[in-house]
Structure formats: C-alpha cells, structure tokens
Chains A and B, each alone.
Chain A
Amino acid sequence: MATEVHSLQELRRSASLATKVFVQRDYSDGTTCQFQTKFPPELESRIERQLFEETVKTLNGFYAEAEKIGGSSYLEGCLACATAYFIFLCMETHYEKVLKKISKYIQDQNEKIYAPRGLLLTDPLERGMRVVSSGQQDAGG
C-alpha cells in the first residue's frame, strides 16, 4: 500500500503518465525538422484526429520558420561574425526565439486540449527533436 501511494505520488510529482505515445520525425524531406502527421492508433480513442494533426502541423510550421534561411538569419550571422560571436552572450538567436514560441504553444495546447483528454504533449526539444511524446493518463489511474 505504501508503495502504491508512494508511486502514485511520484507519478504526480514527476508527471509521468501511464503510457506514452511517440510521434516520430518525418524525414521525408531530409533533415528539416518536421514530425509525422499520421495519427497514432493509440490515440484513436483519446483525441480527435483533427486536433492532433493540427497540433503537429502547427509545430511543423514553427520548426520550418525556425530553420528558415532568410534575411534575418543572414544578418544575424553577419552580426555574430562581426562581434566575434560575443553577440550570442547578449542576444537570442532566431531559432531560440521560435523555440520559445513553440514551448508556449505546446503548453497552451496541453492546457486547452490535451489535459482535458488525459494527454500531455512534451516538447520535442527535450528529446533532441527526435520525437514528440504524448503521455496518456488513464482515467482509472
């Protein structure tokens, strides 16, 4: 009993959930960061397909924006070179800014959509952007 309680407490503390579903990276376009939008079968009964796919698509959009090579990233590079990269001590890179947005988005999605369904999305950054994990918590405990 004590063990059970203990493990439950740990569960709550560490927010580890009963099962985890992993959405893998989609490498069909090379090493650009995007995740597979196919709906994991394990989530079929937990969440509407549409919502999930939309989440993943939005994430993919964010990552595409982060990796975009455009004027802003070029200027950032030049500035960094000019300052012997000391600028990185003061300023966030473009990528980091987008990552923050992503993290906020994931949290938002968790609050609004996933937590009410007993799911929890984790930021892929924690796992090296290899996978998006969504933990399921069974209602039964």
Chain B
Amino acid sequence: MPAASGKRFKPSKYVPVSAAAIFLVGATTLFFAFTCPGLSLNVSPVIPIYNAVVFLFVLANFSMATFMDPGIFPRAEEDEDKEDDFRAPLYKTVEIKGIQVRMKWCATCRFYRPPRCSHCSVCDNCVEEFDHHCPWVNNCIGRRNYRYFFLFLLSLTTHIMGVFGFGLLYVLYQVEELSGVRMAVTMVVMCVAGLFFIPVAGLTGFHVVLVARGRTTNEQVTGKFRGGVNPFTNGCCKNVSRVLCSSPAPRYLGRLRAEQTVLVRPPFLRPGVSDGQITVKIMDNGIQTELKRTKSKGSLEVTESQSADAEPPPPPKPDLSRYTGLRTHLTLATTEDSSLLGKDSPPTPTMYKYRPGYSSSSSSAALPHSTSAKLSRVNSLKEPNSIGEGGQKPSYRSEPSLEPESFRSPTFSKSFHFDPLSSGSRSSSLKSAQGTGFELGHLQSIRSEGTTSTSYKSLVNQTRNGSLSYDSLLTPSDSPDFESVQAGPEPEAPVGYTSPFLSARIAQQRETDLHGRFGGTAPPREPSPVRYDNLSRHIVASIQEREKLLQQPPATGREEDAGPVAAGVQSPPRSSSSLDDAKRSPLGKNPLPRPALPRFGKPEPPGALRARSLGSPEQPRAPHLGKSVSYSSQKAAPQAGVPEAEEVALQPLLPPKDEVQMRGAHSKSNGQPKNLGPVPAGAGPVPLSSPTRGGVKKVSGVGGTTYEISV
C-alpha cells in the first residue's frame, strides 16, 4: 500500500461506503431493469419516472454527503495560539443563552473548539457542528453537509419503500410468471430493500428527532443535554428550517488567501487621548468594567461589559497597581460590586458613582457609607486623624482598642457584631473583615481602598467599628458642609451612594466638632435646611439628634425619632425590628419634634426604615458615648426593638448574624436611597416611636445601618 504523505491508505475505511454504493446503485438498477418495464406497461408509466426522480435525489444527496467538506476548521496558525499554548487551561467557558458551555482546547488544531465543534479522529480534523463520522459515506457529517445527509436518509427511506412497494406490486399482480427471471430479480431486490429498510428507517427517525430537537448526534450520544437545556435550539420549526432552508455555509479549507494589497506604513495615526480622560479597565469575573474618569469633573461612571467568551471567571483581582487611592477604591468597589452584586441588584453599580473630585476630601471619605458610620465619637476622640486617613490599612483590625471599650459604658458588651456584610458588599473581603471583631472604636478612617478586598474590608471595618460619629453631623457647622458636600458629589450620584462620601466628610467635620462639642459648647442646632439625599438626611438628623441629646440632660426617655431611616442600604429587610418600626411609625407620619435623625436601618423596606424612630430625643449623648450601637436587625430586635437611633456616635452593635445579613442587604441595596424614599429634608424625624427598651436606642447611621445604642 502506498503511504500517502502523513496518511496511510487504508482500504478498510472504504469498505462501507463501497458496499453502500454498490447496494444502492446495484439494487436500483436491477429494479429499473427488471421490475419497472412490467410495471410501466401494466400499471402506469409514472412509476419508473417517480422512482427515477427519487433515485436521482438519493444519489445527489449521497454524493454531497460523501464529497462535501463538512465544515473542517483549518489548523490555527502559530501566531494565534502562542499565548494559549502552554498556559492555556484545557477548557474555556462561554455563556450561551445563559448556559455555560465548555470549549475544549484542541491540541491538534491548536485552538479552543467552538461550541458544537468536535475533532474527528478518523479524519483528524475539527469539524464545525460535528454530528458524527459516517462510515457509509466515509465522511464526517458536520455543519455544511448535514442537510445533505439528512435528505439522503429521507430520500433513501423513501426510495427503499418505493422499491419494495412496487416490487411487491409487481409480484402480486403477477404480470408475468412467478418463476421468471424478472420475478426472481424483483424478489431479490425486495429482500435487499426490506433488509436495509429497518436500519435506514431507524436512523432516519433518529435524525428526524434530532433535527426537531436541534441536537447533533454527538450531543445526543454523549448525553450533553440529557435532562438539561439545549442552548442551541430555537424551537422545532426554526430548527427544521435552519437545517433545510439555510444558505449553505462556506468552506474554510482550500480558500485562496486574498492578497494583501493594503500597504501599512508609518507614520501612523493615533487616537487622540484627552487629558482628562483616563480609562481604567478592570477584569473581574469575566466581566470587564471600564471606568472612565475625567479629571475635571471627576465623575465616575461605571460601565460594565461582559465578555461572552470569557475564560473561567478568575477570582476578582483587579489590577490595583493602576489605581491610586480613591480611584482604586472606587474601581474596586465598582468592580467587585458589579461582579458580585450586579446580577442581584441592578442599582448596585450606581452605588459606586463616586466623584473623584471629592477625592481630596474624600480620600478619607472614599469609603462607602459604612465608613462614615464608623466614625465613632470615641474613636474620633481618640483618633482624630483616623478619619482623614487615606491609606488603606486594615488597621481596624489591629485596633480593637480597648480604650474605647473602657470608655464606653457596658453597652459595649452589646458587642459589635457588626456585620461587615452590611457595609454593602458581599465580597469575601467583607467576610474576612468581619472576623476581626468589632472593636470599634476606631474610626478607621475612611481609607481609600486600594484593593477591592481591602476596600471592602476597610468598609467593613468602618462599619464594624460602628463608630459612626454623628457629632459632626449634628453640629450646625456641618450643615454648610453638608451642603457643600452634597452639592459637590451629588449631582449625579445615585441617592444612596453619595452619602458614604458625604458621611465620611461629615465624619471628618464631626471630628472637629466633637472636640468643640465636648468642650461643652453645643450650639443649638436647627434641622438642616439643606436637602440631602436620604442618607445624608439621616446623617443630618442623627447629628442633630445627637446634638440635642448632648444638650439635654441625659436620661430622659429616649424616644427618638429617627429621621428617615437611611435604610436604603439594606435591601432585604429582615429584621423584625425594622418591621416593627415600620409598623410603629410609618414614615413621615409621626410628627416628631425632632429633626430627622439619621437612621440607619437595617435592611428593611423603605417604609420600615422610615418608621424607625430614633429612640431618645435629643438628649445629650455624652453619656451615651459608651453606648453600643448595634445595627438593628432581627437579632437586635429584641433589644433594639425600638429603633432608637440616635446616638450616632456610638459604636454600632450588631449581632453577627444580623450584621451579615445587613451587610448583604447593604451590598445589595447599595445604600439605597431608593428604599428610603423621600425623606423630608432634615426634618422628617422618623416617626417611629420606639420605646426604649432596656436603654437601647437605635441610631441610624450612615449607610442605612442602624445602631443600637444601649443606654
């Protein structure tokens, strides 16, 4: 046997096709020669014509199925696979109509096999939409020739039935003597036809079902879609029409390569890069997020684009090196958020519309809402600088300072189960941050997160610390700041989201205020005339309340009316307490004398949030410094059944579970101001009359978290 270049001549593989051809042509020829003349004479001349047409059809399809390129992919050139070669994972996943489909690396052809493509070992080629390798035609059946193969089967079945039927007719009608040659031949032809009819009809029926289902033989046999959903089907009718009526696909092999007539010569144009535009891309979980920032405006828009041909989603690891400070934080937050939360909460991305313009002031304020929440009075006292820190160091972890605890009253025993998750991010970083315990006290600065994880962690820290000091918020001097702050970042920020920055800033201011305040000069506060978004209003409210608390003698009943609870943050309102709150005081209904205090509710429905009322009235919160603020959550419900919000500065306490859930809610809702609904500017104290229970107040902090302050 002569050895072909690279391939040996194997006669064995031609046996089936030869046999098929011989049987087909031979039997039909005999039929035409021996049976048809008699039939045409005695029955009808149409019979041979009909049979001839069918036979021609069979032959044509048989030839096309045999000789047509099934859709062989040419081998990939070297330049295409040089990146993939050694480091390439074996599989690449793409999402097709919502279903994950794996593409396997073909070592022979050196590319990732497109969906439905398979490598035929007989032909040693990757074939597009590979159906099977048919030995009877000695060819692969793929995208280009499946139609012909299918029609071949149909026509062959028809032909066999015709031959058998007319042969039977011939025999039955006995036009000639039974023992004649013609009769014998007809009988033989009938036998052959009858013999082949069973497998051919079976195969035909099988393929009819496949076509109707939009599957290939390969998929059916390997059970890929067994019990599952086939992403390649468009419905029975469309599948059939696609097989039969679509335009024949082109072949890939054997094409003349077009000569490159275009000359590529320098000098080359380059796209203009505006000074103010910086495009940052983050790859995260197969989702590409692009952030474009303009220096001037500093508005950060997040665009997400998902790459369909994504590799197995890598763990989120944005390239931090590109970003600095706020930007990094933002992008990370966005990325992570988008990757983690995007699907769950459409509004999520809006959360991260931070304004870099803020960055100077808000580098510290870079942290999202929860950050500000963290400012604790104590912390602020202790670490006045912490707020301003822009670095991201998870120092919070290292600082479960004991001081604050001592400083605080036993309320701290309430624990800060601050749920890092409530910071609004469900990232794992939050979880890790959670572990650090809630020691609060430090105002861990709103650090600009350099890394997603760190950012979130720091977020968490902040929340964890629960040191949300609303002192600054409460001080009137803050109002203008609020205004300015508000105005600054706000223009486009989604309601919930600017607040974190705002809060942070407020926190900073609060710091300064704090000192002043503790000096005993607490200027009477008016409800902030400025309308902020919900969160900011909360902040304002909380600040104001705090202010009042400080001014007033302690120990009066604390019915605070929480201002509109900035509960937006937490999406899933799970806390019964919040619900209770809601019941207690529908938002906006209770005309509480107090200005709206910022209430950070746990995840609860907007109404509920509103309903929370900050527990104690504006009593001077000094004695409450030591109070622990716990996020109102279901767990906290018993203690904090009453939303007492006010002591913003107190460290938030939250039972861990609640925190977790809250966090989840936070992350989902992204600080949603949406949930909050319209909050009366500054003044809408949350009409929640939350009876103080065991001296526990709920304070709504920045970011919609609710802190329970135990008095």
- Enumerate chain A interface residues (CB-CB to B < 8 A): 15-17, 20, 22, 24-31, 36, 38, 41, 44-49, 66-69, 73-74, 76-77, 81, 84-85, 88, 93-96, 99, 103, 107, 110-111, 114-120, 123, 125-131, 133, 137, 139
Contacts and interface: CB of A to CB of B under 8 A. Distances in A.
A57 to B, nearest CB: 14
B245 A77 contact: yes
Interface in B309-347: 309
A32 B80 CA distance: 22
Nearest to B92: A24
Interface in B54-68: 56-57, 59-60, 63-64
Given A31-B115, A31-B129, A20 B79 contact: yes
B121 interface: no
Interface string B35-69: 00000000000000000000011011001100000
A84 B309 contact: no
Contact of A28 (B64, B77, B97, B255): B97
Contacts, number: 151
Contacts of B63: 85
Given A95-B247, A99-B250, A130-B114, A110 B97 contact: no
A20 B114 contact: no
Given A77-B147, A115-B265, A120-B260, 19 more contacts: A25-B114, A29-B96, A29-B97, A30-B96, A31-B116, A46-B271, A49-B271, A67-B247, A69-B247, A85-B60, A93-B250, A94-B247, A107-B261, A115-B262, A120-B262, A126-B74, A127-B74, A133-B79, A137-B264
A81 B262 CA distance: 41
B145 to A, nearest CB: 11
B258 interface: yes
A72 B151 CA distance: 20
B257 interface: yes
Nearest to B246: A69
B123 interface: no
Contacts of A119: 264
B295 interface: no
Contacts of B264: 15, 17, 115, 118-120, 137
Interface residues of B, number: 63
Contacts of B245: 69, 73-74, 77
B232 interface: yes
A65 to B, nearest CB: 10
B169 interface: no
Contacts of A103: 258
16 contacts: A15-B264, A17-B264, A27-B114, A30-B96, A36-B307, A45-B270, A48-B271, A66-B247, A73-B247, A76-B247, A77-B247, A81-B151, A120-B264, A126-B74, A127-B76, A139-B268
The 9 A-B residue pairs with the shortest CB-CB distance in the complex, in nearest-first order: A118-B268, A84-B60, A28-B308, A15-B260, A139-B266, A128-B73, A94-B247, A95-B247, A48-B271
B308 A26 contact: yes
Nearest to A80: B248
Contact of B305 (A38, A85, A137): A38
Interface in B162-220: none
B348 to A, nearest CB: 21
B310 to A, nearest CB: 10
B252 A129 contact: yes
B101 interface: yes
Contacts of A93: 247-248, 250
Nearest to B260: A15
A49 B271 CA distance: 9
Interface in B274-319: 279, 281, 288, 305, 307-309
Contacts of B255: 125-126
A23 B247 CA distance: 25
A81 B245 CA distance: 11
B281 to A, nearest CB: 6
Contacts of A130: 73, 76, 111, 114
Query: Per DSSP, are chain B's interface residues mostly helix, strand or loop, or mixed?
Result: loop
Nearest to A97: B247
A95 B268 contact: no
B115 A27 contact: yes
A77 to B, nearest CB: 6
Contacts of A29: 96-97
Contacts of B265: 115
B271 A47 contact: yes
A2 B77 CA distance: 26
A30 B238 CA distance: 14
B308 A36 contact: yes
A26 B309 contact: yes
B141 to A, nearest CB: 16
Nearest to A133: B80
Interface string B655-677: 00000000000000000000000
A88 B258 CA distance: 22
B249 interface: yes
A139 B281 contact: no
Contact of A116 (B56, B242, B269, B307): B269
A24 to B, nearest CB: 4
A2 to B, nearest CB: 23
B42 to A, nearest CB: 30
B247 A25 contact: no
Nearest to B268: A118
Interface string B82-123: 000000000000111100010000000001001110000000
A125 B116 contact: no
Given A31-B116, A69-B242, A45 B271 contact: yes
A18 to B, nearest CB: 10
Given A31-B116, A96-B250, A111 B94 contact: no
B115 A28 contact: no
B262 A110 contact: yes
A116 B279 CA distance: 24
Contacts of A69: 238, 241-242, 245-247
Contacts of B273: 45
Contacts of B147: 77
A131 B77 CA distance: 11
Contact of B250 (A28, A95, A118): A95
A95 B262 CA distance: 25
Contacts of B288: 38
Which of A30, A84, A119 counts the most chain B CB atoms within 10 A? A30
